[in-house]
Structure 1
């Protein structure tokens, strides 16, 4: 049987979007929750909440970029001595960008993470 017209009503839940952005701070509490919790929230609600897919992809791109910056930055400290700048950049991104985009999500705007590598399109 083929479904010709499938109208799925997505709910508008800005509070969940804000919470999803702010759960990135779990890195500072648990060390790993900043990737796992937003990933679970995104996968569970991407088809039910309006704009959750867009915000979830942006969050995952930021988290994967920070992990990549840290993985590259630590050996670069020993090799070149300039890796500390990359680690400082990653730390600033991890501290500031979730709050900025949580405010944007609260206002109904699209997320924009500066300095992220778009791994998930």
Structure 2
């Protein structure tokens, strides 16, 4: 549960300006500390980390689109950032609740970078 909710805390504390960094530091620390002793934390820590890395990649890709198009890409990026941000918030809360119940949660549309 803390792996999922630490991403939420990191995102809220950085106010979204460092979405690519703030959101995956918490899950990374929790996963690294507990992965060898607790199999459920290992699984859910990797899941939270993969999801937050995926969201960070998408946010950075949208920022790059905006820069490359000299700001015209903001027409696409701003609504996408809002939609992805709301989805990130909702999915992170759902994952935290499921993990608290002892149910392994799988985020949709996640790149499985860490196996």
Q: TM-score range by the shorter chain?
A: 0.7 to 0.9
Q: Indicate the residue corresponding to 2:24 in structure 1.
A: 35
Name the CA distance, whole Å, in 1 between partners of 2:38 and 2:90. Answer: 25
**TM score, norm. by length of structure 1:** 0.73
Q: Please give the residue correspondences for 1:26-65 in structure 2 after superposition, counting only pairs within 5 Å.
A: 26-30=10-14, 31=18, 32-65=21-54
Does 2:16 correspond to 1:22? no
| Distance change >3 Å, CA 60–CA 90, structure 1 → 2 | same
Unaligned runs of 5+ in 2: none
Q: Secondary structure at the match of 1:51?
A: helix
Unaligned runs of 5+ in 1: 1-17
Name the CA distance, whole Å, in 1 between partners of 2:91 and 2:31. Answer: 18
Q: Indicate the residue corresponding to 1:98 in structure 2.
A: 92
* Larger Rg, first or second structure (1 or 2): 1
Deviation at 1:52, TM superposition (A): 1.2
Name the CA distance, whole Å, in 2 between partners of 1:108 and 1:58. Answer: 14
Q: Which of structure 1's runs of 4+ aligned residues deviate more than 4 A?
A: none
Name the CA distance, whole Å, in 1 between partners of 2:31 and 2:43. Answer: 9
What is the alpha-carbon root mean square deviation over aligned residues? 1.9
